[in-house]
């Protein structure tokens, strides 16, 4: 399966746009675009919309492969339950990696279905 960044690069190359040309069209720096294509950073909704226009793609298509949860959904979770806000801040403060978080969730899921094997 193609990742978000790979799809951006693929389509940019199909349109024969250099990284610098594309960056200029979407009003970003070339290093930022490079980071997006490598999966290190993600564009704001405004930049994502510009990218879709320049790449002649539907915004919906890009959003479907964007691995991030919707910001508004996270914000509502934190507003409705302050414990989520504390959890999010703790994750950021501890520089928890995505892999660490997934391992934790898997351990928790195993614990609910029965004793964890060690």
Q: CATH number for the domain including 22? A: 1.10.260.40
- According to DSSP H, which parts of 1-118 are helical? 4-14, 19-25, 30-37, 45-55, 59-65, 71-80, 82-93, 98-113
Q: Is residue 19 part of a domain?
A: yes
With a pLDDT cut of 90, the percent of the chain lying above it is: 44
Q: Is residue 53 part of a domain?
A: yes
Residue span of the structural domain in which 28 resides: 4-65
Residues 53 and 78 in one domain: no
Task: Summarize pLDDT for 42-98 with one digit per residue, the tens.
Answer: 998 899 999 999 999 999 998 888 877 676 777 788 888 888 888 888 888 888 887
Prediction pTM value: 0.60
Residues 57 and 16 in one domain: yes
């Amino acid at each position: 399966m193609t990742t978000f960044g790979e799809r951006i690069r693929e389509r940019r190359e199909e349109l024969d746009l250099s990284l610098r040309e594309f960056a200029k069209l979407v009003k970003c720096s070339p290093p930022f675009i490079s980071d997006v294509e490598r999966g290190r950073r993600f564009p704001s909704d405004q930049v994502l919309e510009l990218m879709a226009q320049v790449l002649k793609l539907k915004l919906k298509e890009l959003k479907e492969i964007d691995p991030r949860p919707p910001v508004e959904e996270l914000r509502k979770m934190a507003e409705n339950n302050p414990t989520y806000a504390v959890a999010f801040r703790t994750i950021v403060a501890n520089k928890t990696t995505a892999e660490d978080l997934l391992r934790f969730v898997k351990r928790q899921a195993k614990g609910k279905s029965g004793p964890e094997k060690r």
